[in-house]
């Protein structure tokens, strides 16, 4: 069995009701639900939530909500791994033991069914526990600067002041879209970032964290631009 779990708690602080706020014509979470369904990868696509309104939206757009997430996994400190472990354990307890489980974030409107399938291939074809989406930093992290308490600047790595950008190792970060994992890894609580994970590389123009209203506006601009290109 392959299971998709979309975590979507109701208590977003910086963007209230973020998971079901309208994004480019649809509740935000719907883009993730539709990508999961379109991928053709899953025996079940579920939303793990503590919120009745989110559950109603999820069911309306084709996802299942077989349980309501407990309060202890729904506060500001609830981590991804415990939430996915909880869902996996629920299915095992109810006679459906998944072998592969994919966490898809509810605020990932750029995720596609093709990317999700690519993640499954990466997990299946490698000796690994996780496969998740990453993208490259647009600027060399070795030349990053900090602003000091005295409102001055200093480099994190001053030894690279004169190093050419093309001579520095490329760095990547979590794209915040999907995380395929073997059920055993989720159940053991293995952290996602380690040598037992493989990357699924995405282009930078299809990656955008959405944590603030500024992020939201930028994401809508990017999304509309991509949609316009597709429709040409």
Q: What is the pLDDT of residues 49-105, one digit of tens each?
A: 999 999 999 999 999 999 999 999 998 888 999 999 999 999 999 999 999 999 999
Is residue 216 within 8 Å of residue 138, measured between CB atoms?
no
Helix axes 113-124 and 28-39, enclosed angle (nearest 10): 50
pLDDT tens-place string over residues 92-145: 999 999 999 999 999 999 999 999 999 999 999 999 999 999 999 999 999 999
Tokens of 127: 């000796």
| CB-count exposure of residue 141 (10 Å: 0-12, 13-18, 19+) | middle
Domains and CATH numbers, the chain: 2-134+173-218 (3.90.550.10)
pLDDT tens-place string over residues 165-212: 999 999 999 999 999 999 999 999 999 999 999 999 999 999 999 999
Q: Determine the Cα–Cα distance for residues 213 and 208; give it in Å rounded to an integer.
A: 12
Place of tokens 């392959």: 2
**Res. 12 pLDDT band, cuts 50 70 90:** confident
Is residue 64 within 8 Å of residue 91, measured between CB atoms?
no
Predicted pLDDT of residue 146: 97
Q: Determine the Cα–Cα distance for residues 72 and 19; give it in Å rounded to an integer.
A: 19
Predicted pLDDT of residue 77: 86
Predicted pLDDT of residue 11: 81
Place of tokens 């309208």: 22
Type and span of the H or E element at 90 = helix 80-93
Predicted pLDDT of residue 8: 96
Predicted pLDDT of residue 76: 84
Q: What own/partner pairs with CB < 8 Å and gap ≥ 24 does 63-71 have?
A: 63/6, 63/33, 63/36, 63/37, 66/90, 66/94, 69/7, 69/9
The full 3-state SS of 212-224, as one line of letters, equals CHHHHHHHHHHHH
Is residue 154 within 8 Å of residue 146, measured between CB atoms?
yes
Does residue 229 surpass a pLDDT of 90? no
Q: Determine the Cα–Cα distance for residues 66 and 55; give it in Å rounded to an integer.
A: 10
Q: Determine the Cα–Cα distance for residues 84 and 102; give it in Å rounded to an integer.
A: 9
**Beta-carbon contacts of residue 147 (< 8 Å; ≥ 6 apart):** 153
């Amino acid at each position: 069995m392959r299971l998709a779990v979309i975590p979507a708690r109701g208590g977003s602080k910086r963007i209230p009701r973020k998971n079901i706020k309208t994004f480019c014509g649809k509740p935000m979470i719907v883009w993730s639900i539709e990508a999961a369904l379109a991928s053709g990868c899953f025996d079940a696509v579920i939303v793990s939530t503590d919120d009745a309104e989110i559950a109603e939206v999820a069911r309306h757009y084709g996802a299942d909500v077989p349980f309501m997430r407990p309060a202890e996994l729904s506060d500001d400190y609830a981590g991804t791994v415990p939430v996915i472990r909880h869902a996996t354990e629920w299915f095992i307890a109810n006679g459906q033991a998944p072998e592969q489980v994919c966490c898809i974030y509810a605020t990932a409107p750029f995720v596609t069914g093709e990317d999700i399938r690519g993640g499954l291939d990466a997990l299946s074809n490698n000796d690994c526990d996780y496969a998740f989406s990453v993208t490259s930093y647009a600027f060399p992290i070795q030349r990053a600067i900090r602003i000091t308490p005295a409102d001055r600047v200093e480099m994190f790595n001053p030894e690279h002041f004169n190093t050419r950008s093309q001579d520095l190792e490329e760095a990547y970060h979590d794209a915040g879209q999907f995380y395929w994992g073997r059920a055993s890894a989720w159940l053991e609580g293995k952290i996602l970032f380690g040598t037992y994970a493989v990357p699924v590389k995405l282009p930078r123009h299809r990656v955008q964290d959405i944590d603030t209203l500024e992020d939201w506006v930028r994401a809508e601009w990017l999304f509309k631009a991509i949609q316009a290109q597709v429709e040409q």
